[in-house]
Amino acid sequence: MTTSIKIIQPDDWHVHFREDEMLKVVTKYSSRVNRRCIAMPNTSNPITSSDQASAYKKLIESNSYNENFEALIPCYLTDSLNLNDFTFALQNNIFVGGKLYPNNATTNSQHGVNDIKKIYNIFEILEKENRVLLIHGELNRDDIDIFDREKYFIDEELFQIRNTFKDLKIVLEHVSSSYGVDFVNVNKNIGGTITPHHMLLTKDDVFKNEKINPHHYCMPVVKNEEDLLSLRKAACFDNDKFFLGTDSAPHLTKDKIQHESLKAGIFSSPCSLELYANIFEEEHALHNLEKFSSINGPQFYGLDINSQVLTLNKIETEVPEYTEEGNIKIKNFFAGKKINWKV
Ligand code: DOR
Ligand code: ZN
């Protein structure tokens, strides 16, 4: 029986660090195991300029627990960006790429893009500068079922973006459906991040007996068993185009349970790598974990693979109910459940 595994230090290609006190807490956990994280720009005042990105990067890195830790910031794309500043920031490694939030697709996406064709000039810049377009791939429209938002986005938008900008590197973030997995697999220059929760939950874990479990509610919403199995296969075996992105997205517990409009997001940072290890073990694919966690991502982004190594030991631990510090209280994903691995 395997009792310990060594892997190259991972990176997390999708994390929400938030702001203020919350940022300190998230940074502590995300810099615990990762060398680099992509820090999502959907802060309360979205990150759309080089100055904001530099300040945000500095703030996160100064709170990290790991000296080599690096935060990579994508620009929150809007149809009113200053394109000179945007290009300057891409050329000077201030922006790692651009993040497309379709309008009202998720938390703080009210500044996102309504008419995606209007920002094709931005995609052109990203393609020319060889930078990555990160996409929240969902269309939120009244006539679209919440479970079909990813499929509609692929059919009505992504297909055309892919075919118009053939050299543009695209990441379909938090792929949530077998339809999304298939699209990434058959198209060129496109990768996908996969969260632990989309490989552990199905819609029954969110919507049951006419009650919603707010701690399992996220965007894209988790789907069917068939989708979960397809995501597990993509992460564990079709192992070139998919990489680690937790989409760890904390909300205060009080905001999760007291509000009529429920905040979407799952906080997994305190145990995310261990959860991935559990899943890979269940799939008899522990030997492929390192590719997913530490190799495919940097290769896709054109960055160096990390040089340090980290050990996961087979030690059973129980995930604490909450992450609590000062005024911050966040419900942990997988709370009260046992995990087989420990960094
Ligand atoms: O569930 C989610 N929460 N999905 C996202 O895309 C954004 C995130 C957040 O910022 O809370
Ligand atoms: Zn996210």
306-328 per-position pLDDT tens digit: 999 999 999 999 999 999 999 99
Q: For a substitution probing ligand 1, which of 26, 38, 136, 219 has the most ligand atoms within 8 Å of its CB?
A: 219
Token representation of residue 318: 């129980």
- Does 315 reside within a domain? no
Q: For a substitution probing ligand 1, which of 38, 221, 247 has the most ligand atoms within 8 Å of its CB?
A: 247
Catalytic residue among 240, 247, 255, 304: 247
11 is catalytic: no
- Does 283 reside within a domain? yes
Expressed in angstroms and rounded, the spacing between residue 244 Cα and the centre of ligand 2 is 13
Expressed in angstroms and rounded, the spacing between residue 15 Cα and the centre of ligand 1 is 9
Pocket of ligand 1 (CB under 6 A): 16, 42, 106-107, 136, 218-219, 247, 249, 264-265
pLDDT in tens, 77-129: 999 999 999 999 999 999 999 999 988 777 787 888 889 999 999 999 999 99
Q: What is the CATH number for 176?
A: 3.20.20.140
- Does 334 reside within a domain? no
CA 335, 290, 239, 29 torsion-angle sign: positive
- Does 91 reside within a domain? yes
Range of the domain at 178: 11-303
The model's pTM is 0.96
pLDDT at 297 over 70: yes
DSSP 228-270: HHHHHHHHHTSTTSEEE---B----HHHHHS-SSPPP-B--GG
Rg (alpha carbons) of the chain, rounded to whole number: 19
- Does 61 reside within a domain? yes
Q: Are 272 and 12 in contact (CB under 8 A)?
A: yes
- Does 227 reside within a domain? yes
- Does 267 reside within a domain? yes
The number of folded domains in the chain is 1
- Does 111 reside within a domain? yes
Q: Whose CA is nearest to atom 4 of ligand 1?
A: 219
